[in-house]
Amino acid sequence: MNNRILKEKFVGKIMLILVIFSGVLILIMGIALYIKARPILAVKPFWELMFSLSWHPLRGEFGFLPFIMGTLWVTGIAVIIAIPFSILSAIYLSEYASKFVREWTKPLVDLLAGIPSVVYGIWGVLVIVPLIKNHIAPFFGTFSTGYSVLSAGIVLSIMVFPIIIHISLEVFNSVSNGMKEASLALGATKWQTVKYVVIRKAMPGVIAAIVLGLSRAFGETMAVLMVAGNVAKIPSSALDPGYPLPALIANNYGEMLSIPLYDSALMLASLVLLLVVLFFNIISRIVLIRVEKSTQ
């Protein structure tokens, strides 16, 4: 009896320590990046760096805006494509598909999550880039090399599908049958039931799924780097190339470090990326709490 209570306390403590540890880890990473970024912050104020357009390391100009915009474009496009597709897929799988389809599709979707991102990148180069160059850009009457924020967005959206589908599927499945039956028994159609009851009840979980997908999208490096074009200019349309923050860091870290302040600038870029993801997570947490209150 005593032993059991002791164990209970012990396990509780261990878990608490693990939780604190993971929180502290982010803090430590943030501080470390900040220390490394200090040399450049000593020369130029933070906001000037963030809002400057000019990226000429040899001249000592480190403007981050093109990269921030590149990240936002790529992530934005990915999200616009991924959200409707993956949520509708999850609804189809949980509410409409036959048992057979459900049981075959689920492992396939999960398999998508395990494919290394280089493979997605190569697929993007071989399929999406030519598609945009030869068909989509001419369709809109413009020219594009195909290496663009649109390509990166498309590849990225496919990479976040499995995360969003998997989690929202779990969430939809957790809506009780009794609740769906209550709606159907009133004469509601299946779609009305899905729209007004299932999605409503599942909304907080679906938002959490999207947030997780998005967090991955912000930080995904390899595949994006291979198709985004990597030109340090703000993209003016989806068919223009872009240069997202993670690609900047991965492409240059370890190579150009002889240039003064370059290394410090990259650290600042990492710090900004970390802050962006953190900021985004906090905002979505707030939204989540609001939504949870309204859908009880």
Partner 1 sequence: MELKTHISVQNLNVFYGNEQALKNISIDIPDKKITAIIGPSGCGKTTLLKSFNRLINTIDEVKVSGKVFVDGENIFEKKADVNRIRKKMGLLSQKPYPLPMSIFDNVAYGPRIHGMNDKKKLSAIVEKYLIEANLWDELKDRLHSPASKLSVGQQQRLCLARGLAVEPEIILGDEPTSALDPRSSKHIEERFLALKNDYTVIIVTHILRQAKRLADYVVFLYLGELIEHGPAKEIFENPQMEMTKEYIKGVIS
Residue 217: CB minimum distance to partner 1, A: 29
Q: Which of 54, 142, 174, 295 binds partner 1 (CB under 8 A)?
A: 295
# binding residues, partner 1 (CB under 8 A): 22
The candidate with the shortest Cα–Cα distance to 239, out of 224, 248, 225, 228, is: 228
User: Residue 292: in which H helix or E strand, if any?
Assistant: helix 262-294
**282: its two tokens:** 């906090």
Q: Which of 26, 118, 179, 278 binds partner 1 (CB under 8 A)?
A: 179
* Interaction of residue 174 with partner 1, rule CB under 8 A: no
d(CA 24, CA 32): 12
Q: Which of 201, 210, 239, 248 binds partner 1 (CB under 8 A)?
A: 201
**144: its two tokens:** 């594009």
* Interaction of residue 197 with partner 1, rule CB under 8 A: yes
Per CB under 8 A, contacts with partner 1 among 80-109 are 98-99
* Interaction of residue 176 with partner 1, rule CB under 8 A: yes
Strand partners, 62: 55
Burial of 37 (0-12, 13-18, 19+ CB in 10 A): buried
Q: Which of 65, 188, 231, 288 binds partner 1 (CB under 8 A)?
A: 188
What are the respective helix, strand and coil percentages of the chain, to the nearest 5?
A: 80, 0, 20
User: Residue 150: in which H helix or E strand, if any?
Assistant: helix 149-173
Q: Which is nearer to partner 1, 98 or 236 (CB)?
A: 98
* Interaction of residue 289 with partner 1, rule CB under 8 A: no
Residue 178: CB minimum distance to partner 1, A: 4
Q: Identity (one letter) of the amino acid at 52?
A: S
Q: Which of 31, 118, 182, 287 binds partner 1 (CB under 8 A)?
A: 182
Q: Using an 8 Å Cβ cutoff, are 34 and 271 in contact? A: yes
Binding residues for partner 1 (CB under 8 A): 98-99, 176, 178-189, 192, 196-197, 200-201, 295-296
